[in-house]
Amino acid sequence: MNAVGDLLPLLPPGTRLLVGPGSTAVRSVRGVVGTPDQVGRSLSQGDDVVVLLTPVDRADARFDVLLRRASAAGTTLLVVDGALELGPGTTTLADRLGVAVLATPDPWATSVRLHELIGTGMGPAARAALDASRVALDAGPELDDLFTRLDRSLGHPVRFLDASGLALRGAAVDDAARAALVRRAGTSDVLTAEGVDETLVAIPVGTGIGPRAWLAVGLPVPIAAEQQVVASALRVAAVAVGHRLLLTRLDDERDARYRMAMLDELRAADGAPAPQLVQRTIAAGWRLDAWHVGARVVARQGVDLVALRQQVDAAVRAEGLDAVVVEQADGWVLWLSEPDEPGREAVADIAGRLRRAQNTLRTTVETNVGVGSLQAGPAGLVRTLGEAGDAARLAASRPESGHFVHVDRLGLAQLLLAWTQTDTFLPASRQLLAPLERGGGALLTTLAAYLDAESSIAETAAVLGVHRNTVSDRVARVERLLGVDLSDPETRLALHLATRARAGDGG
């Protein structure tokens, strides 16, 4: 049995309860054509809901008689045309008799909808599956078009979730529902998960490549018939979504191979690319005759490089950088091209933005990032990408820098390290930094990152993946433990030398 209040949000827009409790429970529905007198005479036991398919002009004495006959027959809900207004006397009578009255702008559509929600037949589910198949055939190749049409067909917003339950399209699901999705990963069955404010109906989407995703709809009221209808439509829609995902993946892989091959040809051209290659790079949006800053992003664990390219591109663009991103065997290369030579500050700003983009990517993939120097022309592009690759290899062994190395700052770092590799300085540096060793070395790591970041609290927080307040607190504790003032340039230099020496000594 279903309560009237639960059914109300699922009925045609504008439907409202004129009188009676929303908790009234119903289990059967019948639509009747005729005047109130004719409807009243046709009532029989078991008619929980009676829909008056013929509009009622006014709630007069004949409607009061209908209410009495409905009460006598055990009818708990009358559905009337939305134009009908009940007077105080009729409202009082309906309350006393225990008969609720629902007004709707479309009694015929409401009758059909109530049959679907209350009934136990498979007809509504079959119609929903058929409608979904028509939507899939009519929709274009883009997922957004398919999802928009499914929203209209189902009357509920469709959500697209990744294997972990993260919303790729639509509203997020709560933690309980996400946990249920993770537990049921790999299933082919319908998943129904009770959330805080909704019941989630989810269907797995298989692509044949990578982990499965989910199509889901959140229902505000857990009505079994509605869940059955939604699940039936989502099963058909999941096939259409999976097909489009597979085609998109094949296109992405083809484009990735094309980009990688074109970059390999450019590297092999030794700074003098053939006219045909130049034409292809122009068609791809690559500007060779420009000033370039290259970067190398190496994934520190096995990931789907083709699928993650969009996230790398999005992270870089979120920092205001218009970069070309090309897949590689273990990650990606990217570069920025400017028609006019940028100054040193502009290049440093680019490196800072790339560091922030790396921090954004940490929620998806841990990386080693190297940034090359500013170079010009086709040969310069190859050179800066080569420098970036070398820097990325160095970044792999530099957790204190957040696994990020910019070659323009690499020279100073190497020089500092050379100054500190002496038998006299190493013991002194260890003794100086000894108070920071306690507590797992977090203070020492923070100090090294803080000095590498040129005393920037924000950049240090990004490197370490902690809040800026945490960095500020740790820096203050370092000053107290060591009895130093980090605003003093000479103190900062001495401590920078000491932290470099300790890192180079393997301590």
pLDDT, one tens digit per residue, over 214-248 is: 888 888 776 776 777 788 888 888 888 888 888 88
Closest residue by Cα to residue 108 from 153, 43, 52, 56: 52
Phi then psi dihedrals of residue 371, to 5 deg: -120, 130
Q: Indicate if the pLDDT at residue 172 is higher than 50.
A: yes
Residue pLDDT, tens place only, 180-224: 877 777 677 777 777 777 888 888 887 666 667 888 888 877 677
pLDDT at 23: 78
Element housing 292 (H / E): strand 291-299
Residue 430 has a pLDDT of 77
Q: Is the pLDDT of residue 118 over 70?
A: yes
The band of 320, judged by pLDDT with boundaries at 50, 70 and 90, is very high
Q: Is the dihedral of CA 386, 390, 393, 398 positive or negative?
A: negative
| Across 409-426, average pLDDT | 54
Convert 375-399 to b/e letters by CB count within 10 Å (16 or more is b).
beebbbbbbbbbbbbebbebbeebe
Q: How confident is the model at residue 427 (pLDDT cuts 50, 70, 90)?
A: low
Which pLDDT score is estimated for 410? 62
Q: Categorize the per-residue pLDDT at 420 as very low, low, confident or very high, splitting at 50, 70 and 90.
A: low
Average pLDDT over residues 295-310: 87
Percent of the chain with pLDDT over 90: 22
pLDDT band at 483 (very low <50, low <70, confident <90, very high): confident
**pLDDT of res. 419:** 52
Break the chain down into helix, strand, coil percent, rounded to 5. 55, 15, 30
CA 46 to chain centre: 48
Tens-place pLDDT, residues 59-101? 888 999 999 999 988 888 899 998 888 889 989 998 899 899 9
What is the β-pairing status of strands 291-299 and 367-376? Answer: antiparallel
Higher pLDDT, 432 or 13: 13
* DSSP secondary structure string for all residues of 143-198: HHHHHHHHHHHHTS--EEE-TT--EEESSPPPHHHHHHHHHTTT--S-EEEE-SS-
Q: What pLDDT does residue 141 have? A: 84
DSSP 204: E
Q: How confident is the model at residue 411 (pLDDT cuts 50, 70, 90)?
A: low
Average pLDDT, the chain: 84
Distance, in Å, from the CA atom of 138 to the CA atom of 240, rounded to the nearest integer, reads 11
> What is the per-residue pLDDT for 415?
45
Range in 64-68, 177-181, 384-388, 469-473 the model is least confident about: 177-181
Q: Is the pLDDT of residue 177 over 60?
A: yes
- Which of 25-39, 322-336, 485-499 has the highest mean predicted lDDT (pLDDT)? 322-336
Q: Please determine, for residue 418, whether its predicted confidence score (pLDDT) is greater than 70.
A: no
The amino acid sitting at 233 is A
Distance CA 316, CA 322 (A): 7
Q: Crossing angle, helix 442-452 and helix 457-464, to 10 degrees?
A: 130
What structural domains does the chain harbor? 2-118 (3.40.1390.20), 123-246 (3.30.450.40), 269-408 (3.30.70), 421-504 (1.10.10.2840)
**Residue 136 — pLDDT band, cuts 50, 70, 90?**
confident
Would you say residue 18 has pLDDT above 80?
A: yes
User: Can you tell me the distance from the alpha carbon of 423 to that of 454, in angstroms, rounded to the nearest whole number?
Assistant: 27
Residue 120: the pLDDT is 57
Q: How many CA atoms lie within 13 A of 443 on its CB side?
A: 18
* Token pair belonging to 248: 């998109």
Residue 147 scores a pLDDT above 80 = yes
| pTM over cut 0.95 | no
